[in-house]
Amino acid sequence: MEFIADAIDRRIIHLLQSNGKMKIKDIAEQLGMTTTPIFERIKRLEKEGYIKGYTALADRKKLGFHLTAFCSVTLRSHTKETLTKFVENVKQLPQVTECYHIAGMVDYLLKIQVEDMDAYQEFITEKLTGISNIGRLQSSFVMTEVKNDPVLPL
């Protein structure tokens, strides 16, 4: 039988999404519980894959990544082998921070983080177009980031 997160588990996940460094004691206080059941629930949520890991959210601009681009990719061939090869190649590109196989007019949507337009041009010409089977690329550039919230609406 598969474990399904209940309302308390969802509140724990919500608190940890907002602050991954939150202490178990503080979570327990906010939920009116003791630390032992909170600790056990967190371990179970991790084991069952509801909590996939913990990470620090970095400020991309302070780290020199001033350009965010979304690149729509259309492939020439759609065999299982060519799709798998494309995915393997994209996973090797650190500039691609997100990749989605989508339905519609294009096959994949890539989110790319680079220093500036020169770095983007170099990335496209030296890295992305080196992947075989790409038929068409279309780029869109972020002018203003309105909302970027990694917290799921629990």
Predicted model pTM: 0.88
CATH 3.30.70.920 correct for 67-141: yes
pLDDT of residue 65: 98
Q: Where exactly are the structural domains of the chain?
A: 7-47, 67-141
The string of pLDDT tens digits covering residues 38-88 is 999 999 999 999 999 999 999 999 999 999 999 999 999 999 999 999 999
Query: In the 3-class helix/strand/coil scheme, how is the chain assigned residue by residue?
Result: CCCCCCHHHHHHHHHHHHCCCCCHHHHHHHHCCCHHHHHHHHHHHHHCCCCCCCCCCCCCCCCCCCEEEEEEEEECCCCHHHHHHHHHHHHCCCCEEEEEECCCCCCEEEEEEECCHHHHHHHHHHCHHHCCCEEEEEEEECCCCCCCCCCCCC
Q: For residue 116, is pLDDT > 80?
A: yes
Which of 1-5, 119-123, 133-137 bottoms out in mean pLDDT, i.e. has the lowest? 1-5
pLDDT of residue 3: 62
pLDDT of residue 154: 87
Q: For residue 1, is pLDDT > 70?
A: no
Q: Which CATH number does 7-47 carry?
A: 1.10.10.10
The string of pLDDT tens digits covering residues 87-111 is 999 999 999 999 999 999 999 999 9
